[in-house]
A and B are shown apart, each in its own frame.
Chain A
Amino acid sequence: MISLSGKVAVVTGGTRGIGRAIADTLAAHGAALIVNGRQGGEALDRAVHEIAAEHSVPVVGVAGDIGLAETSAEIARQAFARFKRLDIFVNNAGVLMDSLIGMIPPESVDRTIDINVKGVIYGTQAAVRLMQRGGGGSIINLASIIGRFGNEGQLVYGASKAAVIGATLSAAKELAARNIRVNAIAPGFIETDMVRQLPEDKYQQRMASIAMKRIGTPTDVAHAALFFASDLSSYVTGQVLGVDGGMLV
C-alpha cells in the first residue's frame, strides 16, 4: 500500500473535477491536505468537510484566485502555520475557453494565462522553500494533451498548457539538487464539467480518437498524481506523463 502518511499536500482547484479526485486520492493514502478553490464559500467548505470526514485526515481550505501571487503565498503560510511542512504541491487549477482564431477576446487570453500559467509559476515559487526545509518534495503540474499536440479552437489553451510543460522542465532542472521533483501530467479526454458542455457531435468525434475507446475518469488522472506524489517516483523528474488512453489529436 502506498502511504503518504505524515505528508502535507496542496491541491489548487481542488473542489471539483480532476482536482477533487486528486485531493481525494492523496487523502485516501494518508496525506494532510490544503485545498484551494477560487470562489471559496460553500463549495470549498463542503469539499473540505467531505474529504476530512471520508479519509480522517486534516484538511484546510484556502479560498482565492490562483492567478494572483497572494493566493499561493497564503497557501504556503497556511502550510507553515498548520503543519510546518509541505511535501506535495499539485498545480491543478485551470480554465478552458475555446475560441477560433480571429474571435479570441483579450480578456480570455489574460484569464487563461493568469490561471493556467502564472498560477503554476506562483504555486511553484511558494512551494519550494517549505519543501526544501523538509528535505525535498514533489510538484505536480496539470498540463494537457493539447499542450503537447495542439487542437483547433484552442490556441490560447494550447499555448498555456505548453507553457506549463516548459515551466515543469525548467523547474525540474533547477530544483533537482534540492531533491524537489517536478513532473507534469497531460490528460486527454476526461469526464469533467468542462467536457459535459461539448455538443454531441464534438463529443463523439473526440471519443472516436481514443484508442482505448472510453473517456478517461478524474480518478485515472489522480492515480498518475499519486505515483508522482509518492516515493514510487523518487527518481523521476522533468517528465510529462500522458494519461489519455492512447488518444490522437
Chain B
Amino acid sequence: MSLIHHRWLAEHLPEWEREGLVTPLAATVLRDRYRVESRAGLAQMVVGAVGSLLIGAGLIAVLAYNWDEFPRWVRLVLAFGPLAASQAVSGWVLWKNDNAKPWMRESAALVQTLAIGAAMALVSQIYNLPGQWTDLIFWWCVVAVPLAWVLKSDAAAIAYLFGVAVWTIAQAGDRVMGSPALDVADVRIWFPILLAGILPRWPGSDLGDRPQPGSRLVLAATALVGLLAVAAFASGQQGQLTGSFTVFPWLAMLSSAVVLLFPLDPDGVAEPLSRKPQVVLGGLAMVIMALITTYEMPARELVSGVEPAVRLGWCWLLLAVLAGFMAVAFRQGRFAVLAVAGLALVPPLGALLSPSGTGGWPVAIAYSLLLLATAIVLIALEFLGRQGAARIGAALITLLVILRMADADVSLLIKGLVFIGIGCVFLGFNVLISHHRARVPGGSPA
C-alpha cells in the first residue's frame, strides 16, 4: 500500500469510527500498521528555511563586500555581532522547548549556521588567509552540526551533509590534481567520522528519528558522493606515488555497493523503492559502472586496478563493511539488492581467473552475462512473490540488447528492426507486469 493509501485511510478512520464501521481498537491497530508521517507545518517550515537561507546568504554577501574603510576591530564586531544575535535567538527557541514551532527551530538553526560561516569568512578575509573557500567548510560544519541535534533541525542537518560532501570532494580534488596545498586532509579517516556526526539527529539518541523522504535523498546522495570522493582520494594518493590511477573504478563499485546494501529495519525493508533513495542511487551507480565494463577497455582497466587496490587499507575496509552488509541483507531476504551489489565482486574474480594476455574480454563478457542474470533475478523475484523490480530488470535487458546491437557489425535495417522489436516486447512486458500487480492482493512494492 502506498503512502497515498495510508493518508486516505487515516483521513477516513475517524468517520468510520463514528459510524461504528470499525471499533476504536481496530482503528488504533490500523493507524499503527499504516502510519502517516506528520505534515503539519511543512509549508511553514519550508518558508522559514527559505527566509533564513536568504537572510544568511545576504549576510555573507554583505560581509564579503569588504568594508576596508573600517578598522579591523570594527569589522570583527561586524563578524561576531550577527553570530551573537543568532545564538540568542536559538537559545530562546531551545528554552521554549516543546512550545517552539518546527519552523522556528529550523529558521533559528539555519540562520545561526550561516552566521557562523559569515563570521569565519570575515575573519579569513580580514587576515588574508590563504586557501580555497572550501577550506573554511570543515570547521564550519564541525561547530554547526550540534544545532541540527539540539534544535532537531532538518535544514541544518541537510546543510551539514552538503558541507561535508563538498569539503570531501575538495580534499579529494586537491589530492588527485596534485594541488600545491600542503595540508590536504586524509578523507579516508575524516569522511566516515564527519558522516557519523549526523547520527545524533538521525536516528537520534532514542533511535526513533527517521529522516523525511527529502532528507533521506540528501543523506543517501551525500554519502554516495562522499564515498566516491574518498575512492578518488585513495586512488589519487596511490597515483601520486605510482603514477597510476587505475584503482578508482573498483573502489567506486565497492562504495556504491555499500550504499546500496545499507542495512534497514523490517519496516524499512517493507517500504517501496521510491522511499529508499540509497537503493536507487547505489543501484544506479552500480549498474552504470557495470554497463560501462561490458566494453573491453574499461573491463581491462578495472581488472588491472584490483591488484594495486588490495594493497590499500581503504579497500579492505570497504570489503569488510560490504561483507557485513551482505550478510544482513541475506538474512533479511533482500535478494534483489544482493544480486546488484554482487556485481562489485566480479573484478577480483576476473583478476584471479582470467589468464594473462587475454585483455579485458573475459570480464567484459562476464559483466554482460551477469547483468543479464541480474535482470532475470529482478524479474523472477517479483513473479515469485518476493521483493523484486521487474520493470527495472526489463529495462536492464533492453539496455544490454541496445548496447550490443549498437556496436554489432550489422546493417542499419536489421538494427532498426531489432530496436522496434525490443520496444514492442518492452511495452508488452509493461502491460503484463501491470496485470500481474493488479492480481496480487495489495500489490507488491516496486
A-B complex is real: no
